[in-house]
Amino acid sequence: MGKLDDIVSLCKRRGFIFPGSDVYGGMAGTWDFGPLGVILKKKIENSWWDFFVEKREDMYGVDAAILMNPKTWVASGHTDTFSDPLVECKNCHGRFRADKIADSISESVTTEEFQKLGVKCPTCGKSDWGEIRQFNMMFSTHVGPITDDSSIAYLRPETAQGIFTNYKNVVDTFYPDVPFGIAQQGKAFRNEISPRDFILRDRECSQMEIEYFVHPDTWEENFEKLLEINHAFLEDVMGISKEKIHELEVPAEDRAHYSKRTVDIEYDYPNGKEELMGIAYRTDFDLANIARESGKSMEYRDKNTGEVYIPHVIEPSIGVERLFLAVLSEAYIEDEIDGSKRVLLKLPENLAPYKYCVSPLLKNKPELVEKAREVYDILRAKYGNVTWDDSGNIGKRYRKQDEIGTPKCVVVDFDTLEDGTVTVRDRDTAKQVRVKAGEI
């Protein structure tokens, strides 16, 4: 695993991630995914959807609107409680999340507790702090032509509420057996006080969430099942080392207001252990609140027993960017080939942006280029994610493809014209074999 700065540099150099609005000097907490980043991101999202939705009979998907009725955020508790502890340095007027610049304190830290720690300002080094106050992280906007209190709306801070507000629609149209889940992928927006650590904490992110509706008496067994399944996804599908994944049982004082149990799955990122995803037992908090605010019943009637109840909910939630960075961190390796340093992304083949790179040995030999194009067209039609590269010498091409994680490089040379074989080079071992082009 490389340092975070090394990964950030690779991402920009090779077209994975660029700073948001870079041409104008950037905008804190925003990032743009480049050509390779988009491919990797979509593969992560598609793999999650395939694993948790397409391959299961108990999952349904939705894609809810980002702008929602403001009552949504009153019922969910976000209007009153979705906040972080903001503290300002009196010397340089820098503003920070109090729980992120001091060790071993929670989001509920008081001004007195914080000031006793003697924390120094990360910007100016002084220890002269103002009062801690709670800062609501929802972005507000106005809907319609009139700008007043009646037109206020919010960019959603989570995708979960779009699932909860569609619970009744799914039950009424599909009437699924409990337990069942509703899944969604989409953008969420959080006005972070101090975005940091590359894409680990930013103001615009993508989430992948499931609300799994269960009978109140079975929440514990379903919680454990979902926890186990998410470990399998991270390790077997995303290729993340089991040794770098840790479970944290979140204490009551640090849990979200809706949660009766939360387990954070943490990962050993280059900058230290950080939350990768969480699984929360939300009880009937959301559905009961929606019923109260909307006046509509959220009860479920069992088809077989006739029992009527409001389901309880277990929520596995993961940020795409956090998973993206974990995948990159896991894959980033520095080694030596023939006495020279090499950087490679040892990405699982199911996630690598390109499966193959096809090259002519020499780009100034028309017969090699023509044959290489034939091989390229065949492989592209067969696999889709195949790239072409004829820039620089063959050694430089290998190094470039190693850095972007391409598992195999296919080179057409003069022997290809004679016997139809090509050189296939392996990314991880750098070993080369000759095979018939049609057998790849």
Q: Look at residue 417 and tell me if it is in a domain.
A: yes
Residue 80: what pLDDT? 76
**Domain-embedded: residue 109:** no
289 plus 427 within the same structural domain: no
Longest dimension (CA), the chain: 80
Write down the pLDDT at residue 1.
67
Residues 377 and 413 in one domain: yes
Q: Domain ends where: 296, 329, 362?
A: 329
158 and 252 part of one domain:
yes
For residues 323 and 390, state if they share a domain: no
Residue 212 located in a structural domain: yes
| φ/ψ (deg, to 5) at 284 | -105, 20
Whether omega before 311 lies within 30 degrees of 0, making that bond cis, reads no
Alpha carbon distances (Å) from 43 to 6, 87, 353: 23, 39, 8
Tens digit of pLDDT for each residue in 405-417?
A: 999 999 999 999 9
Model pLDDT, residue 337: 85
Asked if residues 154 and 139 have their Cβ atoms less than 8 Å apart, the reply is yes
The answer as to whether 346 is a domain residue is no
Instruction: State whether 190 and 314 are in the same domain.
Output: yes
Residue 42's pLDDT is what? 98
Same domain, yes or no: 277 and 363: no
Which amino acid would we find at residue 118? G
Q: Which residues contact 385 (CB under 8 A, 6 or more apart)?
A: 39, 352, 353, 354, 355
Q: Classify residue 134 by burial, with Cβ atoms within 10 Å: 0-12, 13-18, 19+.
A: middle
Cα–Cα dist 368/416, whole Å: 8
What would the pLDDT profile of 312-346 be if each residue is shown by its tens digit?
Answer: 999 999 999 999 999 999 999 999 888 889 999 99
**Other beta carbons within 10 Å of 172:** 8
DSSP 3-state assignment of 323?
helix
Dihedral sign, Cα of residue 413, residue 417, residue 418, residue 423: positive
| Cβ pair 249, 278 in contact under 8 A | no
Contacts with 213 (C-beta within 8 Å, 6 or more apart), sequence order: 167, 178, 179, 180, 181, 182, 300, 311, 312, 313
CB 85 within 8 A of CB 174: no
Give, for 39, the enclosing helix (H) or strand (E).
helix 35-49
Same domain, 382 and 280: no
Q: Which one-letter DSSP state was computed for residue 228?
A: H
Global pTM reads: 0.89
Check which CATH number belongs to the domain holding 432 and give it. Answer: 3.40.50.800
Say how many domains are in the chain: 2
One-letter amino acid at 189 equals F
pLDDT at 332: 96
395 in a structural domain: yes
Say if 118 falls within a structural domain.
no
* Tokens matching residue 318: 């993961």
pLDDT at 396: 93
CB–CB of 163/184 below 8 Å? yes
> Is the Cα dihedral 287, 291, 296, 302 positive or negative?
positive
Give residues with Cβ within 8 angstroms of 421, minimum separation 6.
415, 434, 435, 436, 437
Rounded-to-integer distance, Cα 262 and Cα 136, Å: 22
Domain boundary among 263, 295, 329: 329
Chain centroid, CA 192 distance in Å: 17
182 shares a domain with 316: yes
H or E stretch at 347: none
Q: How far apart are CA 65 and CA 162, in angstroms?
A: 7
Q: Helical H runs in 193-263?
A: 219-232
CA-based R_g, the chain, Å = 25
Q: What is the CATH number of the domain that holds 17?
A: 3.30.930.10
Tokens of 159: 């995708």
Residues 185 and 279 both lie in one domain: yes
Residues 425 and 286 reside in one and the same domain: no
Residues 302, 265 share a domain: yes
User: Does 206 share its domain with 308?
Assistant: yes
Q: Residues with Cβ < 8 Å from 387, sequence gap 6 or more?
A: 353, 354, 356, 357, 358, 406
Asked, for residue 295, whether it belongs to a domain, the answer is yes
In a domain, 184, yes or no: yes
- Using left for φ > 0, alpha for ψ between -120 and 50, and beta otherwise, residue 289 falls in alpha
Dist. CA 61–CA 176, nearest whole Å? 13
**Which portions of the chain are predicted below pLDDT 70?**
1
Domain boundary among 314, 329, 344: 329
Its domain, for residue 431, covers 354-439
What the block records as the tokens of 18 is 């660029």
Residue 256 near residue 275 (C-beta atoms within 8 A): no
